[in-house]
Amino acid sequence: MEVEAKFRLKEGVFEKVEKFARFLEEKEEFDLYFNHPCRDFAKTDEALRLRVEKKIKMTYKGPKIDKDTKSREEVNLVVDSFENALELLEKLGFRKFGTVRKRRRIYEMNGALICVDFVEGLGNFLEIEVKELDEKEKIFEIAAFLGYSREESIRLSYLEMLLNRKV
């Protein structure tokens, strides 16, 4: 399960995160998204991606399950070869759909992960993630501390935002 909320990074928030949260790591991520050969993931609110970072991961994301956050089922699989995973997906009929590139700084605060994302072509964002759906309110408590209201939460994925921008 992925339980998170996303916000556009406001002025001064990065500095506040740096001051009050514990820095964990920084990494570059490249995401390649696919569409299913028999159903439209955009219509079913699902996603399948291949991510290149320190490891290569294949991730399935199910439909969002609540109105406040981007909470959804998530299944992750580490693969040993981007090229082999890509070939497998293409042979099964999956089609490349879009890409997202970002630099991500990851922090920990009060048992939640805070990601400050610098997304190519979109700008800068803050994501707050907890492990369980019953911890969801912790997301909005941290968000309020950082200067955000619940209403500022963005439920679109970076891919959806990039695709909507091109329309």
Tokens of 19: 């001051």
Catalytic residue among 33, 107, 148, 158: 33
Tell me how far apart the alpha carbons of residues 38 and 164 are, in angstroms, rounded to a whole number: 23
43/38 Cα distance (integer angstroms): 12
* 148 in active site: no
How far apart are the C-alpha atoms of 21 and 60, rounded to whole Å? 29
How many Å apart are CA 91 and CA 44, to the nearest integer? 22
**Would you name the residues annotated as active-site residues?**
33
